[in-house]
A and B are shown apart, each in its own frame.
Chain A
């Protein structure tokens, strides 16, 4: 294991409700009654959904999704 972790976040000021992320990765994103998207839970992406997270970010017309990858806390590789 590399010990890396991935998170997704949606900038609510940029999101215009295209709902592309919700269609591509409903495991990672939710939309409210106004169609505005947000990351589900704490935004941590399980290893099996890493590709989906990248794909959701790469399909957002408003560039509202950020994917951050960081070394896991406490891991010393």
Chain B
């Protein structure tokens, strides 16, 4: 983060999701807001609202009539009707509204259903082992840099059928989009307009046109909506979506879970002795360390529980805060690996439920299982050296660990 915004002194009336206090630990902020001011407001980013309870976050997520998904990353660059034409948006279907949303989403769903995702598990497992092999002999290293950050990007690159060695190109591109949201509108425009990533994707698309194969790029080239092949903007937008939604997010969930396990030997021991716990443990990690806060734009002026929302105001949708709401989850801040009732909203709620949830769950499970098999005991080597990403995707970006 660049930390260029004025420091926040009042979270109810002037919150900022890039403030260092929020970035370091937003949970106490959300907890207080849930009690005292369930819909906070800030003039920053041109006007932003923040519902924090499970009930209010759900209500906004389900209400696609009053709240549009045309843009889902809050920044100083407010989208105009011109550059983000409704209902398609920049990265369909996450930036699409009904009815186009349903059409674009239905086309993609089969590629992310449980069975095709299961088929990616052997690749993911081999990748995790290869990354762990490379740490052999080290007793202290940064698990975010050497392990977690490589996993989701390389799986996405594999799915799209791009060369594995190009994974770093995407990791950097996505980092820029998601983390530097406090840049000025001019800087954001320049970043988005650079066009390098479009050129890269165009070259891959051309290569796949000439040499079709069994991967997601060829799948997108073959896909049809109402008998028509997809426009290249739609294909590139969907590729962008897969990268925005599939890389930093799962990287964050894997890292945050390792951060937890590093500090809780009793949970490490339980996972070692009770492998049947993996299913509920993964859901509990997803609940407690849900990485993703989504966003909406207000469609037209509206009164929301007494809040006078204006057209084009942003709304942050903090699913991680909903997941810590005590009215929905007893003892919400406690990690219970065997929690039996867990309707967590880590993947969102309603029609925009994370398309890649099966993929994310598989990657998180495999990454943690392989780590625990290799390193059953470990701790933070420098607790103060752990840094967290700012913006709407939260996870450890440095995670110095000591193998015990």
Contact = CB atoms under 8 A, between A and B. Distances in A.
A61 B349 contact: yes
A2 B344 CA distance: 34
Interface stretch (B36-44, B110-118, B213-221, B240-248): B110-118
Contact of A23 (B279, B344, B353): B279
Contacts of B112: 35
A59 B341 CA distance: 5
Contact of A59 (B106, B114, B343, B349): B343
A58 B339 CA distance: 11
B349 A62 contact: yes
Given A24-B279, A31-B114, A61 B358 contact: no
A33 B113 contact: yes
Nearest to A58: B341
Contacts of B342: 58-59
Contacts of B283: 20, 59
A18 B279 contact: no
A43 to B, nearest CB: 20
A19 B115 CA distance: 12
A35 B110 CA distance: 7
Given A55-B340, A58-B343, A61-B345, A18 B113 contact: no
A61 B279 CA distance: 16
Contacts of B357: 17-19
Interface residues of A, number: 20
A52 B319 CA distance: 26
Interface in B82-138: 106, 109-110, 112-114
A8 B332 CA distance: 28
Tell me whether chain B's interface is mostly helix, strand or loop, or mixed: helix
A31 B113 contact: yes
A60 interface: yes
Interface centre among B106, B343, B344, B345 (most CB of A within 10 A): B343
Contacts of A16: 349-351, 353
Nearest to B279: A23
A34 B110 contact: yes
A31 to B, nearest CB: 6
Interface in B260-279: 279
Given A16-B351, A59-B341, A59-B343, A34 B113 contact: yes
Contact of A34 (B109, B279, B343, B351): B109
Contacts of A18: 347, 353, 357
Interface in A19-37: 19-20, 22-24, 31-35
Nearest to A24: B279
A17 B340 contact: no
Interface in B264-309: 279, 283
A63 B112 CA distance: 22
Nearest to A34: B109
B340 A34 contact: no
A22 B113 contact: no
Given A33-B109, A34-B110, A19 B358 contact: yes
6 contacts: A19-B357, A33-B109, A34-B110, A35-B109, A59-B343, A61-B343
Interface of A: 16-20, 22-24, 31-35, 55, 58-63
